[in-house]
Amino acid sequence: MKNKILILSGDPNSINSELIYKSFKKIKPSVRKKIYLITNYNLIEKQLNKLKYKMKFINVKDIDEKVNNNKIKIVNVDIKFKNPFKIPKNISSKFIHSSLNLAHKYALNNNVSGVISCPINKNLLVSSKTGVTEYLASKCNVKDNSEVMLIRNKNLSVAPITTHVDIKDVSKGITANKIVKKIMTIQKWYKNKNKKKPIIGILGLNPHNAEYRKLSEEKKIIIPVVKKLKKIGIKIKGPLVADTLFIKDFKNYDVIVGMFHDQVLTPFKSIFKYNAINITLGLNYLRVSPDHGVAVDLIGKNKANPQSLIECINFLNKS
């Protein structure tokens, strides 16, 4: 089958099984046939039984195995557990790494549209400062800071220059080279995907752009980068002032690039809620994920909103 979609069930201590169930109920059967779940058969079965959900699964040895029925195809990842809703941290971490590594291996196959990773607690990855974006960039040998976390819906995209970095370390992570690399990745993807040059707005780092003081990041780094990018034909404007842009002026741009994670994700999520997906650009394949976390407070309550996962599936189905 061509255009296969891989879904990692992600963090076992999460709402992910509920999201998968609700999403599969809403997508077309023709799309469901393309999906391979990378998870543990017993784990997802027990979690869904606890929620009183019924789904038919079948284990497959890999994504090339042909299946002639409508059951949900699972590529099994080993995990030992007693309570399906309370998996110890060390076991969860091993399960997540195994799942990501397997998905990476399969995603390099030309018959795969991309990978969807359901939410993961980043403390379970190799470093608490490493997200899935950085982990898969490392697996793909991306060493030049060109990978991009793009949060997108049909109205707007946002991207941070630094991702899972403590605020005290943000300024040290902002360099002209990093900004240029990430802007070029965004430009390339938009041209390939949408056949257009995106209109990009780039934010300053400091409140009121530090009033453009001589030694500010705006003066030393961002303004020279904007001038350089304009000279090579990038449609970019900035540095823009972060505290007012998202009132209405964001509508003038296709992409807003910020200097740190919450600078762009907080206003974006305030405006668009769950109507967005997280796309990792610059890898050897497409990786997307729902634009929210593991929501441990909602586990087992049948209150999880599957909209973002559905958007991920539809996005890859059309890619």
Q: Are residues 86 and 69 in the same domain?
A: yes
Give the per-residue pLDDT at 2: 61
- Are 49 and 9 within one domain? yes
Tens digits of per-residue pLDDT, 50-66?
888 988 889 999 898 87
Q: In the predicted model, is pLDDT for residue 296 greater than 90?
A: no
Residues 6 and 103 both lie in one domain: yes
pTM, rounded to two decimals: 0.88
Cα torsion 297, 157, 264, 293 to 10°: value is: 10
Mean pLDDT of the chain: 91
Residue 34 has pLDDT above 80, yes or no: yes
- Interatomic CA distance for residues 150 and 256, integer angstroms: 10
pLDDT at 69 over 80: no
As for how many domains the chain has, the answer is: 2
- Find the CATH number of the domain harbouring 24: 3.40.718.10
Closest CA to 131 of 112, 151, 114, 154: 151
Instruction: Yes or no: say if 148 and 281 are a contact pair by the CB < 8 Å rule.
Output: yes
**Whether pLDDT at 13 is above 80:** yes
Mean pLDDT value of segment 259-265: 96
Counting Cβ atoms within 10 Å, is residue 244 exposed (0-12), middle (13-18) or buried (19+)? Answer: exposed
Of 160-169, 199-208, 234-243, 253-262, the poorest mean pLDDT is in 160-169
- Do 185 and 147 contact (CB within 8 A), yes or no? yes
Residues 304 and 179 in one domain: no
pLDDT at 129 over 70: no
- Residues 215, 131 share a domain: no
Range(s) of the domain holding residue 208? 144-275
Express each pLDDT in 96-111 by its tens digit.
999 999 999 999 977 8
CA 9 – CA 118 distance, rounded (Å): 5
